[in-house]
Amino acid sequence: MLLLGLTGSIATGKSTVSSILSSPPYSLPIIDADILARRVVEPGTPGYAKILSHFLPTTPDLLLPFPDDPNYDRSKGAPLNRPALGRRVFGDSEERKRDRLVLNGIVHPAVRKEMYLSLLKYYLMGKWAVVLDIPLLFESKLDVLCGTVMVVAVKDPEVQMRRLMDRDKHLTREDAENRVGSQGDVRVKAKRCEMRGDGRGVVVWNDGEKEELKLEIDRAMRLVREKSPRWWAWLLLLCPPMAGLIGVWTYWRNTNINKEWERQELKTKAKL
């Protein structure tokens, strides 16, 4: 089974690409890290309790009022005020970086557990490929598990800013810049993706309209299928030891690619 890591940056169109890949003619199962991240911090979960323990004393507006819905279980706690939490963790100051590390330390382990359980389920179902929709794929180092990485990117940074502010009307320009900055330059992610080689790293450019995006996805998926045909997925399903060996080889290969990327980054910084 091919693990197709889908990433990008905020407001580049990653969710749109994910939606297209989940629909015919692709019909790929999607494991969405954002959905899992919300699920693992819902009221009543261990993640929710940890967030309250760390952030509530210094974030008075961390919780929203209880919903009017009579079916809402108040015993689990009030909903999180996500914009307020976002203001605590997005930005370049040292305090915000520390808070972001704390939040990631709460959310990421729980998300990984849910993700691995889903991957096992789809493997046993005999799926050709599964999309891991993860905004911070490289940062979380989950790219080492992926046979192919797909980055959704824009060439013009202003396109990204405009889309984000159009989508989230409550954001100021500064808020939008902080959120974009917290996920890194998507054009750098695109270069890192291309370093994996043809069919193993594909970039979907999304500066235009949806019809242009669909053509880009078609082009990218043709490259992916050439490297990972369906018969290969069935062979690995029927021969689990081989699947295990391929998984180890993929991990080793991607780890070495990441080390080379880091060496190149250090050389580039040394020249500045």
Do 4 and 82 sit in the same domain of this protein?
A: no
pLDDT tens for the chain, 272 residues long, are 899 999 999 899 999 999 999 999 999 999 999 899 999 999 999 999 999 999 999 999 999 999 999 999 999 999 999 999 988 888 888 888 899 999 999 998 999 999 999 999 998 888 999 999 998 899 889 999 999 999 999 999 888 998 998 988 888 888 888 888 877 789 999 999 999 988 899 999 999 999 999 999 999 999 999 988 888 888 888 888 888 899 999 999 999 999 999 999 888 877 76
Do 150 and 265 sit in the same domain of this protein?
A: yes
Domain count along the chain? 2
Do 139 and 244 sit in the same domain of this protein?
A: yes
Q: How far apart are CA 34 and CA 52, in angstroms?
A: 20
Do 155 and 223 sit in the same domain of this protein?
A: yes
Do 94 and 84 sit in the same domain of this protein?
A: yes
Do 217 and 121 sit in the same domain of this protein?
A: no
Domain final residue, candidates 57, 91, 126: 126
Do 160 and 263 sit in the same domain of this protein?
A: yes
Cα maximum dimension of the chain: 62
Q: How far apart are CA 221 and CA 224, in angstroms?
A: 5
Do 132 and 174 sit in the same domain of this protein?
A: yes
Do 132 and 254 sit in the same domain of this protein?
A: yes
Q: What is the sign, positive or negative, of the torsion defined by CA atoms of 196, 123, 109, 64?
A: positive
pLDDT score for 272: 64
Do 64 and 168 sit in the same domain of this protein?
A: no
pLDDT score for 271: 72
- CATH code assigned at 101: 3.40.50.300
Whether 137 and 190 have beta carbons less than 8 Å apart is answered as no
Do 187 and 260 sit in the same domain of this protein?
A: yes
Task: Give the residue numbers spanning the domain of 65.
Answer: 34-126
Domain final residue, candidates 76, 100, 126: 126
Domain final residue, candidates 107, 126, 145: 126
pLDDT score for 140: 86
Q: Which residues of 117-132 are buried (b: 16+ CB within 10 A; e: fewer)?
A: ebbeebbeeebbbbbb
Give the 3-state secondary structure of residue 27: coil
Do 48 and 168 sit in the same domain of this protein?
A: no
